[in-house]
Structure 1
Amino acid sequence: MNIKSLLLGSAAALAAVSGAHAADAIVAAEPEPMEYVRVCDAFGKGYFYIPGTETCLKVGGYVRFQTNWDNIDAAPGVENNNWNARTRALINFSAKSDTEYGALGSYIALRTWAEEDYNGGSVEIDEAYITLGGFKVGYMYNYWDAGLSGETDDLGSNRINAVGYEYSSDTIKAGFFVDELIAHYSENDFGATTATTDTYGNDGIGIEAQVSGTFGAVSATLLGGYDFAAEDGSIRAIVTAAIGPGTLGVAGIWSSGANAYYDLAEWTVAAEYAVKLNDKLSITPAFQYWDTLDVSPSGNFVGNREAWRAGVTLDYKITDGLTSKVSVQYTDMDNDGDRTDDEEVWSGFVRLQRSF
């Protein structure tokens, strides 16, 4: 074998070995791209896509510190503080997605009070419901919870299990709900002469319907509710209008008898004028009058006792997400023959709230 043949053979062998090693080389796998949270703008501000889904989620809530006060004296021999402080926390989750039947949504809100005489700090469901298109079912505040913007009026509130449908257009909104009525509306602050704090039929049924509309600077709402267990109902109207530097709000309620939707009086009227003084400060003076406060054992309003309340509420925006509120109210009610020291009551609160 000559030198030339030896060199050519060696080169071929090296090429073969190099090729074999190249074919067997281990290549590290590329890392899968990380899926970052994507903004979802289909349902409004604050929503984002849950990773790996087409469902949009929004998280919100607030922390509220509030000190309440009044001048009500305790009964002889009973200790009573004329003020108390409480802290409230609420967190809510709203999930929405598009379906062939319209937008599918769910809402969950959890809250707690750091106050022993309320719920001792335990967590409770504030609301939990499902929506599909215009249908809504679950545990919720109903139409009666909405009132005027200040802190003077008392125009009803229910948090109940309900199912119903709501139609909305650019100017008109209408809805109908069937409610499970398991409790009264209120403890009757005016000392009614009958036990109106009893439930109006355990697991009773009620219906409510509301129509509202906005026409330029004027908005109007008409609401009705009927309690089948009490065989009585209530009707409420609210009208607001932009007048001058502020917004005038007027409301009225008539009840055929004490019922789960409204039982404070046979009828009441309220008015307020909310003025935004600047970008941070607003002031809302308001007034409300109640007529025929007492209720007979059969549930009918009787007698001629009446009450009225006047007050003012100041709202101040400290910075984005942080607001404060100060409320002062004066309530005057006719003597019910039992209470002698609190027919004229001064009350109010100071609140600081961080919302997100």
Structure 2
Amino acid sequence: MNIKSLLLGSAAALAVVSGAQAADAIVAAEPEPMEYVRVCDAFGTGYFYIPGTETCLKIGGEVRATVSFDESSAEDWDSNVRARLSFEAKNDSELGTVGSYIRLQAVQGAEADINDDLDSVEVEQAYITVGGFLVGRDLTWVDDWGLAGESDGFFGNAYFNTISYTYTSDAFTVGLGVDDLSDEFVGNEVGVQGTLSAAFGPASLAAYAVYDFGSEEGGIAGVLSADIGPGTLGIAAGWASGQSVGYDFASEWTVGAAYTFKATEKLSITPQVMYYDSVDFTAADAWAADIYVEYQLAQGLKASADLGYRDQDGVDDNWNGFVRLTRSF
């Protein structure tokens, strides 16, 4: 074999090998474009689309630190820290707006001891909404009853597994719900509650009604508020037919008033007074008063303080109060 033949053969072999390698070459795929988080403004501020879906998510939370004192307590003063984290998801569907809400809560301090939470994290609220329907664990409408101060109280329990329907228009809201009261009874019992609220220019009225089928007792309550002068006046009242194991009324009836004075854009001062007849359905009456001060230090950060007094038949007069710092987002 001469040199020329050897060179030609080698070139042919190299061409075959190169062609085979070219046929087997791996071509890297183009990277897929990154999907950035998009703002969702269909359900209000703070929502964003979960990447790859049409579901809008909103994340919020709060940290609240309190130092308090109470003459009726065995301790001169105490401290308390509460943390909350909430998740709210919504999307449109053929059934209307479908939503879900979860709020986790952890408490460390005196409140944890009172509620036997043992400084643990709990699912404080969790429910599903479809249009105006709600089902799950929730703080129900009666939790909204009350004034701007800290000395009011009528519905002692407003936290249930519940199912409800709420209709809302521009001028008024009406709702009806069924509450599972089994946690408060030995057997299975239910209660019903309803609400009606309406706005009339600078004034608004909200009414609440409940009935406990286990105790066969019910109660009604309402709050009237109106913008007057440099602040807002609120008047609240409540009446119960008898003590309810499920809803735990504070007294047979109560009435009170509060005025929130807007001293500056950031500072508000609220004096409040309440009267209670037949406390815990006994012969004892009571009146209570407090002054609540709140100052907005910055966006999402506020400081507040309260000083309260209570005078009840057969019980020593009591002074109580707190200072508090709350950060919410």
TM-score (norm 1): 0.81
Q: For residue 326 of structure 1, what is the aligned residue in structure 2?
A: 305
Q: For residue 347 of structure 1, what is the aligned residue in structure 2?
A: 320
Q: Please tell me the residue identity of whatever aligns with 1:34.
A: M
Q: Is the 8 A contact 2:37 2:50 kept in 1?
A: yes
Q: For residue 7 of structure 2, what is the aligned residue in structure 1?
A: none
Q: Give how far 1:200 is off.
A: 5.2
Q: For residue 140 of structure 1, what is the aligned residue in structure 2?
A: 138
C-alpha separation in 2, matches of 1:276 and 1:200: 44
Residue of structure 1 aligned with 2:269, choices 283, 299, 303 = 283
C-alpha separation in 1, matches of 2:103 and 2:279: 35
Q: For residue 161 of structure 1, what is the aligned residue in structure 2?
A: 161
Q: Give how far 1:104 is off.
A: 0.2
Q: For residue 36 of structure 1, what is the aligned residue in structure 2?
A: 36
Superposed CA deviations along residues 158-199 of structure 1, whole A, max 9, x for unmatched, are 11000010000001100000001135xxxxxxxxxxxxxxx4
Is there any run of 5+ residues in structure 1 with no aligned partner, and where? 1-12, 74-79, 184-198, 296-301, 336-341
Q: Is the 8 A contact 1:201 1:230 kept in 2?
A: no
Residue of structure 1 aligned with 2:230, choices 238, 245, 255 = 245
Q: Give how far 1:27 is off.
A: 4.6
Q: Give how far 1:26 is off.
A: 5.8
Q: For residue 175 of structure 2, what is the aligned residue in structure 1?
A: 175
The reply on whether 1:268 has 2:230 as its aligned counterpart is no
Residue of structure 1 aligned with 2:87, choices 85, 88, 93 = 93
Q: Is the 8 A contact 2:192 2:211 kept in 1?
A: yes
Q: How many residues align?
A: 307
C-alpha separation in 1, matches of 2:279 and 2:107: 31
Q: For residue 3 of structure 2, what is the aligned residue in structure 1?
A: none
C-alpha separation in 1, matches of 2:221 and 2:240: 9
Q: For residue 196 of structure 1, what is the aligned residue in structure 2?
A: none
Superposed CA deviations along residues 30-57 of structure 1, whole A, max 9, x for unmatched, are 2100011111110110111111111111
Q: For residue 194 of structure 1, what is the aligned residue in structure 2?
A: none
Q: Please tell me the residue identity of whatever aligns with 2:230.
A: P
Q: 1:51 to 1:86 in 2, by over 3 A?
A: same
Q: For residue 316 of structure 1, what is the aligned residue in structure 2?
A: 295
Q: Please tell me the residue identity of whatever aligns with 1:328.
A: L
Q: Please tell me the residue identity of whatever aligns with 1:158.
A: A
1:1-356 paired onto structure 2 within 5 Å = 27-72=27-72, 80-115=74-109, 117-118=113-114, 119-146=117-144, 147-156=146-155, 157-182=157-182, 199=184, 202-259=187-244, 260-295=246-281, 302-303=282-283, 305-335=284-314, 342-356=315-329
Q: Please tell me the residue identity of whatever aligns with 1:166.
A: T
Q: Is the 8 A contact 2:249 2:280 kept in 1?
A: no
C-alpha separation in 2, matches of 1:201 and 1:274: 43
Q: 1:293 to 1:201 in 2, by over 3 A?
A: farther
Q: State the secondary structure of the residue aligned to 1:144.
A: helix
Q: Give how far 1:152 is off.
A: 2.0
Q: State the secondary structure of the residue aligned to 2:251.
A: coil
Is there any run of 5+ residues in structure 2 with no aligned partner, and where? 1-11
Identity %: 47
TM-score (norm 2): 0.88
C-alpha separation in 1, matches of 2:75 and 2:185: 32
Kindly report the root-mean-square deviation, in angstroms, between the aligned alpha carbons of the 2 structures: 2.1
C-alpha separation in 1, matches of 2:181 and 2:118: 26
C-alpha separation in 1, matches of 2:273 and 2:42: 41
Q: Give how far 1:262 is off.
A: 4.3
Q: Is the 8 A contact 2:193 2:211 kept in 1?
A: yes
Q: Give how far 1:29 is off.
A: 2.5
Q: Is the 8 A contact 1:284 1:314 kept in 2?
A: yes
Q: Give how far 1:117 is off.
A: 2.1
Superposed CA deviations along residues 262-304 of structure 1, whole A, max 9, x for unmatched, are 4211110011001111121101100110001254xxxxxx53x
C-alpha separation in 2, matches of 1:152 and 1:324: 19
The answer to which of 305-314 and 150-159 deviates more is 150-159
Q: State the secondary structure of the residue aligned to 2:205.
A: strand
C-alpha separation in 1, matches of 2:232 and 2:188: 40
C-alpha separation in 2, matches of 1:309 and 1:87: 26
C-alpha separation in 1, matches of 2:200 and 2:260: 19
